[in-house]
């Protein structure tokens, strides 16, 4: 009878220990994009709609920041947790550079999907 109790206790301890062991975190997958910098809907937020995928990114940058209207290329990792910007996919930018080859329109509006602004403007005429 004592052997059964000891075996049960050992089994319970092993189950508890394995449940408490955290799984190792995988390294975040780097994100790379490029496009025109625009102001976000919240003050102080910067966003870029990637010219390749069309994804809107919320750029979280420590240090020097690009100017609104500049074309940039950036690399970063997905941000974990909430941000105050509430727009786009939040990215902790690890590196960015100006791209003179990207020509940005003066009235860049990142909150609209590509092509929808033109369609709505045509409908209003």
Output the pLDDT for position 96. 98
| CB-CB contact of 113 with 125 (8 Å) | no
63-79 pLDDT, tens digit per residue, is 999 999 999 999 999 99
pTM greater than 0.85: no
% of the chain with per-residue pLDDT over 90: 60
The residue that leads in pLDDT, 62 or 6, is 62
pLDDT band at 105 (very low <50, low <70, confident <90, very high): confident
- pLDDT greater than 90 at residue 114: no
pLDDT band at 16 (very low <50, low <70, confident <90, very high): low
Q: Which two tokens stand for residue 116?
A: 């929808």
CA distance 113 to 37: 15
% of the chain with per-residue pLDDT over 70: 66
Query: Looking at residues 88-93, what average pLDDT do you find?
Result: 97
pLDDT band at 31 (very low <50, low <70, confident <90, very high): very high
Quick one: 47 exposed, middle or buried, by C-beta within 10 A (0-12, 13-18, 19+)? buried
CA distance 50 to 33: 5
Output the pLDDT for position 66. 97
CATH topology of domain 31-102: OB fold (Dihydrolipoamide Acetyltransferase, E2P) (2.40.50)
């Amino acid at each position: 009878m004592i052997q059964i109790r000891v075996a049960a206790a050992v089994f319970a301890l092993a189950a508890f220990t394995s449940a408490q062991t955290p799984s190792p975190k995988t390294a975040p997958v780097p994100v790379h994009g490029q496009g025109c910098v625009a102001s976000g809907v919240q003050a102080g937020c910067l966003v870029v709609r990637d010219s390749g995928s069309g994804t809107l990114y919320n750029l979280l940058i420590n240090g020097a920041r690009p100017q609104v209207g500049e074309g940039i290329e950036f690399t970063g990792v997905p941000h974990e947790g909430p941000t105050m910007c509430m727009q786009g996919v939040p990215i902790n930018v690890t590196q960015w550079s100006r791209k003179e080859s990207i020509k940005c329109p003066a009235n860049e509006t990142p909150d609209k999907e590509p092509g929808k602004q033109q369609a709505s403007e045509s409908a209003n005429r």
